[in-house]
Amino acid sequence: VVSSASHDAAILAASAKHPTVPQVYKYGTAGFRMNADLLDGVTFRVGLLASLRSRNKSSTAIGVMITASHNPAVDNGVKIVDPLGDMLEQEWEQYATALVNAKSDEELVRIYNKLATDQKIDLTAKAKVIYGRDTRPSGHTLVAALADALDATNTQHVDYKILTTPQLHYLVRATNTEGKPITYGKVSEEGYYEKLAEAFVRALQGRKIQGTLQVDCANGVGGPKLAEFLKYVPKDKVDFDVKVVNDDVLRPEVLNLDCGADFVKTKQRAPPNPKPEPGLRCCSLDGDADRLIYYWTDPDTGFFMLDGDRIASLAAWFISELIESAGLRDSLNIGVVQTAYANGGSTNFITRHLNIPVVCTATGVKHLHHVAQQFDIGVYFEANGHGTVLFSADARKAFKQAQPQSPGQKDAMEILASLADLINQTVGDAISDMLLVEAILAHKNWTLRDWAQTYRDLPNRLVRVEVGDKDLFQTYDSERRLSHPEGAQDEIDGAVKKYSEARAFARASGTENACRVYAEAASHAQANELADRVARIVERYGSTSQ
């Protein structure tokens, strides 16, 4: 047990080794994310918060992930994972922001102690933090800053070294449920692979996977981790022919460069290297393997992409059919959660054709996750390929305990139970989502072309606009409209009116120093023109010299 004076002294001494660079920091869409040179002090302070959070949550393990996911290699980031593997509770984001913005070591200690007092945190209680990082070289020193904060606060810590983001989320939940009836899985990376491989075999129920799948790993952590996972798939039970490409993690500069899910989604084309064979089933992960996009190129019609909206509609369709076959339609509800980036074509298909309600939230899986938890089965995906399917405790119980009246019902329940294990319940997980898609395609005996024919996307375009001050842009209505700068929304509305079936919006990114503009319309030419017009409006209103 340490006295509060020695606790303060330990933090002061450690903090002196990890100064922050003066500027305003904000816990954004996915934690603090910026050029890695600015992050040493930030990561140290996040370590302090993680230890407080653990003590605030009955000494359960809290996760810290060091990654900048889709951002360029020079960036890095740090985010906190709550005890059940979901993102840090939003109220605590402001505490993280306050700690990181402290102007001196003394002020830092004051804010830290005030937070402990306000939240009635016992600083002598045990605390535990587990952490991992992606393949960025800067991760190494940031982890050292984090460990210094954990040592200074007497926090037990486990360094899981290089992991995908969803693996760290898995480990947090597994750690906190170990030995309990709600156990999530073995507390190891191996446990993660075993759980997924076992559930994948069960989900397939002997169905054959057609042809080869080429997986572009963005030259990030997904490459080695996917290769490792594949060793766990039993060859005698599943013939899964995967070709892993863009898996070079030794040259940091190629991370996310002209490859990966963000490239494919924003550029709407396949990575140039290796050029996909026409007709080959392909998918791309992002830099920390939590996003997934499918695509193929056709010799006649060219590139075709199946993004997060397509994955959401495929999963919602398949699962609602299974619920029907299992005779559980009246006892379990299902809903889909999307953001403003969801293609209007997908929203129409899900609500009108599948008859499943759709809720729209602000960007960031932390927002979608909480809304999805309100359904027995909550399917949530961002158009960029980040998402998952959540099953409530009632749903999981029903899959295991309901008495099947026919072999068909029994099969449906077994597949549903296997999906609840296969699909990561903590956060979007590209490897797990990929196995889900592969299992559904195998059950339906579908090619990507069959899948693509379920509905028509409205032509759309996403543009990144650099502005003088992105914080001028304030939104409402789940980020579909701008309240500030004044006048900007009226101009956007005026632009949208000029096109048919059109929709457009602008918002400040929470992971990059830029604004994003999305536009969709009846034709590609119109969507492009509208996106350009709105981008010019944003440029004008975002200029600080205006």
342 is in an annotated binding site: no
Options 7-15, 40-48, 218-226, 381-389: segment touching ligand G16 (CB under 6 A): 381-389
Q: Closest CB to ligand G16 among 30 and 538?
A: 30
Shortest separation between residue 305's beta carbon and ligand G16, angstroms: 16
510 is in an annotated binding site: yes
Give the DSSP per-residue string, 406-450: SHHHHHHHHHHHHHHHHS-SSS--HHHHHHHHHHHHHHHT--HHH
Binding of residue 369 to ligand G16 (CB under 6 A): no
Binding mask 41-80 for ligand G16 (x = CB under 6 A): ----------------------------xx----------
Running DSSP on this structure, what letter comes out for residue 471? G
* Size, binding site for ligand G16 by CB under 6 A: 18
Q: Closest CB to ligand G16 among 60 and 363?
A: 363
**Neighbouring-strand partners of residue 61:** 128
Tell me which of 155, 384, 392, 475 binds ligand G16, using CB under 6 A: 384
**Neighbouring-strand partners of residue 462:** 518
**Contacts from 119-126 at CB under 8 Å and sequence distance 24+?**
119/52, 119/56, 121/52, 121/55, 121/56, 122/55, 123/2, 123/4, 123/7, 123/55, 123/153, 124/1, 124/2, 125/55, 125/59, 126/55, 126/59, 126/156
CB 501 within 8 A of CB 522: yes
CA dist., res. 542 & res. 484, Å (int): 10
Shortest separation between residue 383's beta carbon and ligand G16, angstroms: 9
Tell me which of 286, 309, 414, 529 binds ligand G16, using CB under 6 A: 286
Binding mask 212-251 for ligand G16 (x = CB under 6 A): ----------------------------------------
Contacts of residue 91, Cβ cutoff 8 Å, sequence gap at least 6: none
Give the DSSP per-residue string, 231-285: TTS-TTT----EEEES---S-GGGTTTT-SHHHHHHHTS--SSSPPPTT-EEEEE
CA dist., res. 71 & res. 418, Å (int): 34
509 is in an annotated binding site: yes
Binding of residue 474 to ligand G16 (CB under 6 A): no
Q: Closest CB to ligand G16 among 358 and 506?
A: 506
Options 116-124, 190-198, 379-387, 434-442: segment touching ligand G16 (CB under 6 A): 379-387
Shortest separation between residue 365's beta carbon and ligand G16, angstroms: 4
CA dist., res. 189 & res. 232, Å (int): 12
Tell me which of 66, 511, 517, 541 binds ligand G16, using CB under 6 A: 511
Q: Closest CB to ligand G16 among 314 and 506?
A: 506
Closest alpha carbon to 259 in 229, 223, 226 = 223
Tell me which of 8, 457, 512, 529 binds ligand G16, using CB under 6 A: 512
Options 46-54, 111-119, 298-306, 362-370: segment touching ligand G16 (CB under 6 A): 362-370
**Neighbouring-strand partners of residue 284:** 216, 293
190 is in an annotated binding site: no
CB 499 within 8 A of CB 526: yes
Tokens of 335: 């809903």
Binding of residue 432 to ligand G16 (CB under 6 A): no
Binding site, annotated residues: 69, 286, 288, 290, 382-384, 507-511, 516
**Residue numbers at the binding site for ligand G16 (CB under 6 A):** 29-30, 69-70, 286, 290-291, 363-365, 382, 384, 386, 509-512, 516
Binding site, annotated residues for substrate: 382-384, 507-511, 516
Binding site, annotated residues for Mg(2+): 69, 286, 288, 290
